[in-house]
Chains A and B, each alone.
Chain A
Amino acid sequence: GQQLNQSPQSMFIQEGEDVSMNCTSSSIFNTWLWYKQDPGEGPVLLIALYKAGELTSNGRLTAQFGITRKDSFLNISASIPSDVGIYFCAGSKAAGNKLTFGGGTRVLVKP
């Protein structure tokens, strides 16, 4: 099935660093969402975006809905150890409809 192109696939962070990841699609989505998934659990919603160009923050997280409706990015500022996990972008054609997921960005702590 179709997937969104999410990058990077993985990244190492050091506490205090900022983190960025993005998703692109060949088709338009009218809703973009960002989820975090911890091992063995279901995804938990971080941010939902409903309007092209929208920039939304949730604490240290900021996400933007691209103006073309074909991309979105997520920034995490001043990362902390509990930011480790897998982040997924997801798009839907309408709010509440089925989601198409990106491949995920695995955030790990620098040894």
Chain B
Amino acid sequence: GAVVSQHPSRVICKSGTSVKIECRSLDFQATTMFWYRQFPKQSLMLMATSNEGSKATYEQGVEKDKFLINHASLTLSTLTVTSAHPEDSSFYICSAPQGGIQYFGPGTRLTVT
């Protein structure tokens, strides 16, 4: 199956700072990638659709100025959490489709202190 990686796997940052998370499709190209957030013991909730070469599409209730998405190449999408606060602490997971199937990255655990 296709492989999607994320970096970093874990990050701890101070309140008010920004954090960038990378999502890469390793053996295929993806014009679209998806970013999800998962709080403890909950399901995955879609945050936004990342579109290569154009603006991301955000789900209702997700602040686009807080969660900046850049999809500059066919294998890389980045999510930047700006001015992070403790309530942004979560597990962030990306996915990329290949052959009609969504393949997920291993996730990034963000802790904001």
Contact = CB atoms under 8 A, between A and B. Distances in A.
Interface of A: 1, 3, 31, 33, 35, 40-45, 48, 50, 88, 90, 92, 95-104
B102 A99 contact: yes
Given A48-B101, A96-B102, A42 B43 contact: no
Contact of B103 (A1, A45, A50): A45
A104 B40 CA distance: 12
Given A3-B43, A98-B34, A99-B46, A43 B104 contact: yes
Contacts of A44: 104
A1 B59 contact: yes
Contacts of A102: 43
Contacts of A88: 43-44
Contacts of A40: 91, 107, 109
Contacts of A42: 4, 6, 93, 95, 104-107
Interface residues of B, number: 29
A40 B105 CA distance: 11
Interface in B59-73: 59-61
Interface of B: 1, 4, 6, 32, 34, 42-46, 49, 59-61, 91, 93, 95, 97-107, 109
Given A1-B60, A45-B1, A96-B97, A101 B104 contact: no
Contacts of B61: 1
Nearest to B106: A42
Contact of A101 (B44, B49, B100): B44
